[in-house]
């Protein structure tokens, strides 16, 4: 994130806050749109709710000191990935990966880092899916790619994390061993509950007239819209899509992302 040289630190920090806030709002809007679109297409919303926040100065300073870095704006921008944080709460674990994949495909969002604490829970029992992304913030004469941390978790994971956070705070990170043990057990019970709820939900879907997984969004939704009100601009045939990297899934992801950016729909501008 390159910033203009400003008059003093306070002014510079206000500028940073403006960028972090803008990035959060942009991402929040994108996620709300996805959720609304999903709701319309599948009569189901994968996102229960979204919260976002700017990290408190105290928490930023504590983290920098933990990293052994001097507390200044340059270090905050460089080393603190979660100054701007957005939390997405889903009903089911499958929704977490569904949302994460949709974020990966957003053409203007760059994924910088992923930590899958669901596949690999932390030793204390913490589970969540974390992504560090960069969001372009368009200002009057510059676009600034701004870092945002996304945490995606189920309601059960959120309840656990919130209680653990309180316990950690209360005991200043040194909770008695039996409490740590019970917390870990709670995390395992909640993971079991999440799995049970997901299998129950899948069973219920089989009785539904519109099962979520079998709905083909592209063919069922896109075509009537194209026919009635606009034009899809598909430039993929005239463009060379160059893939880099050896991993096939990475290639596929990149291609899908590129494609998502190219499938532009001229909404209401005619043919
Ligand atoms: P707060 O008060 O929530 O802001 P990195 O992103 O790799 O540079 P970082 O930030 O340590 O390093 O990454 P990580 O592990 O992804 O953790 C980021 C955030 O995830 C934390 O921010 C917490 O919000 C949450 N988190 C991670 N581990 C735990 C945990 O064990 N328990 C709880 N309750 N939350 C956790 P902060 O700054 O630690 O805290």
CATH architecture for residues 9-213: 2-Layer Sandwich (3.30)
Which of 74, 149, 182, 253 is catalytic? The answer is 149
Q: Are 116 and 129 in contact (CB under 8 A)?
A: yes
pLDDT digits (tens, 9 = 90+) for 189-200: 999 999 999 999
Distance 26 CA to ligand 1 centre (A): 22
pLDDT band at residue 217 under the 50/70/90 scheme? very low
List pocket residues of ligand 1, CB cut-off 6 Å.
55, 59, 63, 81-82, 115, 122, 124, 126, 130, 132, 161, 164-165
What's this model's pTM, rounded to 2 decimal places? 0.84
Please report, for the chain, the start and end positions of each structural domain, with discontinuous segments joined by +.
9-213, 216-267
- Phi and psi at 93, nearest 5°, equal -60, -40
Q: Are 133 and 148 in contact (CB under 8 A)?
A: yes
DSSP conformation letters of 234-263: --GGGS-----SS-HHHHHHHHHHHHHHH-
Chain-wide mean pLDDT for the chain? 85
Structure tokens given for 184: 């870990």
Confidence check: pLDDT of 162 > 80: yes
Task: Please state which of the ranges 32-36, 220-224, 250-254 shows the lowest mean pLDDT.
Answer: 220-224
pLDDT digits (tens, 9 = 90+) for 171-212: 888 889 999 999 999 999 999 999 999 999 989 888 866 655
Annotation marks residue 70 as catalytic: no
pLDDT digits (tens, 9 = 90+) for 56-93: 999 999 999 999 999 999 999 999 999 999 999 999 99
d(CA 181, CA 208): 41
What would the mean pLDDT of 43-50 be, rounded to a whole number?
91
Distance 18 CA to ligand 1 centre (A): 23
Q: Which atom of ligand 1 is nearest to the CA of 85?
A: 4
d(CA 167, CA 147): 29
Note the pLDDT of residue 271: 52
d(CA 3, CA 137): 12
Structure tokens given for 175: 């909770």
Q: Which atom of ligand 1 is nearest to the CA of 55?
A: 4
With tokens 């917390």, the residue in question is: 183
Q: Are 73 and 14 in contact (CB under 8 A)?
A: no
């Amino acid at each position: 994130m390159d910033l203009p040289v400003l008059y003093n630190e306070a002014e510079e920090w206000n500028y940073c806050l403006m960028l972090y806030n803008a990035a959060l709002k942009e991402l929040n809007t994108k996620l709300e749109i996805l959720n609304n679109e999903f709701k319309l297409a599948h009569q189901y919303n994968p996102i229960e709710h979204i919260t976002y926040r700017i990290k408190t100065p105290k928490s930023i300073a504590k983290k920098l000191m933990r990293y052994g870095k001097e507390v200044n704006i340059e270090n905050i921008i460089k080393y603190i990935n979660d100054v701007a944080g957005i939390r997405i709460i889903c009903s089911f674990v499958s929704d977490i990966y569904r949302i994460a994949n949709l974020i990966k495909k957003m053409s203007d969002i760059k994924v910088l880092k992923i930590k899958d604490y669901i596949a690999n829970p932390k030793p204390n029992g913490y589970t969540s899916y974390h992504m560090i992304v960069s969001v372009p913030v368009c200002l009057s004469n510059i676009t600034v790619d701004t870092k945002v941390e996304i945490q995606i978790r189920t309601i059960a994971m959120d309840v656990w994390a919130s209680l653990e956070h309180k316990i950690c705070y209360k005991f200043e990170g040194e909770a008695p061993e039996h409490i740590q043990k019970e917390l870990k057990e709670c995390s395992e019970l909640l993971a079991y509950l999440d799995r049970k709820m997901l299998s129950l939900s899948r069973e219920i879907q089989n009785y539904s007239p519109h099962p979520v997984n079998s709905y083909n969004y592209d063919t069922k939704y896109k075509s009537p819209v194209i026919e009635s009100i606009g034009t899809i601009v598909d430039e993929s045939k005239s463009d060379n899509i160059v893939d880099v990297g050896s991993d096939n899934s990475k290639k596929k992801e990149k291609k899908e992302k590129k494609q998502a950016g190219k499938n532009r729909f001229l909404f209401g501008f005619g043919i």
